[in-house]
Structure 1
Amino acid sequence: MVGGHYTYAEVPLFDGLFGAERNNYDKVGHFFQGFVPALIAREILIRLQVVNGAAWRNLFIVSVCLAFSAFYELLEWWVAAATGEDAEAFLGTQGYAWDTQSDMWFALIGAITALICLSRRHDKQLQRIAKTTPS
């Protein structure tokens, strides 16, 4: 809600944070753009038993998150192309040529962080559910 109130480029908390020339608030959003879909994809893949093996499942989860992030970046580009002159304000690149790539990098970091930090806990919760659910 903070980003919606100020726009990404103008969130006061992130102005000049750590000496950055641009406001990096949008990177927080892109981190969670990888983090949250990773949890959802993991839940679906485990419950539906789509992929066997944790390594393949994790690769698939990260790939899904990056595909989602890439689609979002394409959507931003399409809207920017359609709006013309207001594209810079909508994109929030703030003159940073590698904004799209860094956005996807933060989504990748978010997806991997979710898998590393929450996989064991998620597995325990799924085991607990399996024990209480009648077959």
Structure 2
Amino acid sequence: MNASIRQIPSRYPLLLLGVFVAVWIALGIAPRYRQDWLLENVLVLIAVPLLILGHRRLRFSDATCTCLFVFLLLHEIGAHYTYSEVPLPAWLDGALQQVMLTPSRNHFDRLVHFLYGVLITPLAVELLDARAPQQGIWRWLLPWLFVVSHATLFEIVEAAAAGAFGGDLGQAYLGMQGDIWDSQKDSALAAAGAALSVVFLRRRA
């Protein structure tokens, strides 16, 4: 009995992976814009195999695996519809319009950038604690900087890719929706989400 109980946590990431692959296949069958879906999934096709290969050397907690799973699902929804065209429930759309103070815009991309900070930070905390232990204020600052730097770098890569492809594909991938400060706002939201997550995690430790 005790042996079977101990085996359950080790199977949990495999369960999440199986569900994610099933959702990934389903949402990839008929995306709204095939080329944009392919672009959005480049990083997924790199990150997920790396996480699988590294699982034996560094076992993330079930909570962190769940956070990563939720973020990837949200990303796949954005990739299926494109981030600027995801159909939102009326209550969520109304709430986001009020919080963001920007009417007549689809805020799904803003929400996911904020949740990137919230949901990826646990992975950063566990990775850094295991491979580069910190002391003092660096236990708070380094995970935050780790996530913010990746979020900002992604915005730069995204803008470069959109400029290279141009046309409708570039616009769909970048998803600015007419806002020239879109990249800066997305980065700021990721930074805010990461800050909240770091405070929550470190205060619990």
Same fold (TM over 0.5): yes
Among all aligned residue pairs of Structure 1 and Structure 2, give the percentage whose two residues are the same amino acid.
36
Residue equivalent to 2:6: none
1:83 matched to 2:152? no
The aligned runs of 1:1-135 (5 Å cut-off) are: 1-13=76-88, 17=94, 18=97, 20-53=103-136, 55-86=137-168, 87-121=170-204, 123=205
The gaps in structure 2 that reach 5 residues or longer are 1-75
Ranges of 4+ aligned residues in structure 1 off by more than 4 Å: none
**Structure-2 change in CA distance of 1:103 and 1:45 (3 Å):** same
| Structure 2 residue identity aligned to 1:34 | G
Deviations 1:55-83 (Å, cap 9, x if unpaired)? 22211111111110111101111211210
Paired residues in the alignment total: 121
Question: Which structure exhibits the higher relative contact order, with contacts defined as CA atoms closer than 8 Å and separated by 6 or more residues?
Answer: 1
Change (3 A) 1:102 1:113: same
Distance 1:72 1:14 in 2: 28
> Is the contact made by 1:35 and 1:107 (CA closer than 8 Å) also made in structure 2?
yes
Mapped to 2, the partners of 1:76 and 1:48 lie a distance apart of 29
RMSD value over aligned CA atoms?
A: 2.0
TM-score between both structures, scaled by the size of structure 1: 0.78
Please list every run of 5 or more consecutive structure 1 residues that lacks an aligned counterpart in the other structure: 124-135
Contact 2:140 2:202 in 1 (8 A): no
Q: Residue type matched to 2:156 in 1?
A: L
The alignment partner of 1:4 has SS state of helix
